[in-house]
């Protein structure tokens, strides 16, 4: 059911010592079982019509601590989480709607 593994990171704001702040990413969960599924052509077309387009659906065991301000690393790509959905509403499977980020690992 979950043939892939992903790492989930959370953003941390760090004082840069000059009155400003820098955002860094820290490991939140590692080696999480997942199913990473690129969306189909029709879904992709529809996604491009909205404000927050998505490229990939990621299914993973339910974890209420995963939030939309986090990001995923998978197979050399960084995925920005756009939405966190309880698939089926039974707290068993999370559906993470994600966009492929231009940020490199």
pLDDT at position 54, please?
79
| Domains of the chain from N-terminus onward | 4-100 (2.40.10.270)
What value, to the nearest 5°, has the Cα angle with vertex 37 and ends 35 and 43? Answer: 145
pLDDT at position 102, please?
79
Each of the 105 residues of the chain gets a pLDDT tens digit; together they read 899 999 999 999 988 888 899 889 999 999 999 999 998 655 545 555 555 577 899 999 999 999 999 999 999 999 999 999 999 899 999 999 999 987 765
pLDDT at position 53, please?
73
């Amino acid at each position: 059911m979950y043939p892939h593994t992903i790492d989930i990171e959370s953003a941390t704001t760090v004082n840069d010592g000059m009155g400003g702040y820098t955002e860094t990413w820290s490991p939140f969960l590692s080696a999480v079982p997942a199913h990473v599924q690129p969306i189909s052509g029709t879904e992709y077309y529809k996604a491009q019509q909205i404000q927050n387009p998505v490229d990939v659906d990621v299914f993973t065991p339910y974890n209420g601590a995963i939030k939309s301000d986090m990001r995923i690393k998978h197979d050399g790509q960084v995925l920005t989480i756009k939405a966190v959905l309880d698939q089926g509403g039974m707290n068993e499977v999370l559906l993470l709607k994600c966009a492929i980020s231009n940020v490199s690992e």
